[in-house]
Amino acid sequence: MKPLYAMMVDITGRRCLVVGGGSVAERKAAALLEAGALVKVVSPSATPLIQKWALLGRVEWKNRPYAPTDGIGCFLVIAATDDNQTNEAIYRDAKERGQWINVVDQPELCNFTVPSTVKRGPLQIAISTGGASPSLAKKIRQDLEKSFGEEYERYLGLLQEMREKVRAEVKDPRLRYSLMKELVSDEWLIECRRDPEGVRGKMLGFIQSHLSVQA
Ligand X SMILES: C[C@@]1(CC(=O)O)C2=NC(=C\c3[nH]c(c(CCC(=O)O)c3CC(=O)O)Cc3[nH]c(c(CC(=O)O)c3CCC(=O)O)/C=C3\N/C(=C\2)[C@@H](CCC(=O)O)[C@]3(C)CC(=O)O)/[C@H]1CCC(=O)O
Ligand Y SMILES: NC(=O)c1ccc[n+]([C@@H]2O[C@H](COP(=O)([O-])OP(=O)(O)OC[C@H]3O[C@@H](n4cnc5c(N)ncnc54)[C@H](O)[C@@H]3O)[C@@H](O)[C@H]2O)c1
Residues that bind ligand X (CB under 6 A): 27-28, 102, 104-105, 107, 110, 113-116, 128-131, 133-135, 137-138, 141
| Under rule CB under 6 A, residue 37 binds ligand Y | no
Angle at 11 between CA 8 and CA 17, to 5 degrees: 120
Using DSSP's 3-state secondary structure scheme, residue 164 falls into helix
Q: Which of the stretches 38-46, 95-103, 160-168, 178-186 binds ligand Y when contact is defined by CB under 6 A?
A: 38-46
| Closest residue to ligand Y in the complex (CB) | 22
Q: Rule CB under 6 A: which of 88-117 touch ligand Y?
A: 104-105
Binding partner of 82, given ligand X, ligand Y, none, CB within 5-8 angstroms per partner class:
ligand Y
> Would you count residue 42 as binding ligand Y (CB under 6 A)?
yes
For 108-122, b/e burial (b = at least 16 CB within 10 A) is ebbeebbbbebbbee
CA quadruple 46, 48, 78, 4: dihedral, nearest 10:
-150
Residues within the interface to ligand Y (CB under 6 A): 19-25, 42-45, 65-66, 80-83, 86, 104-105
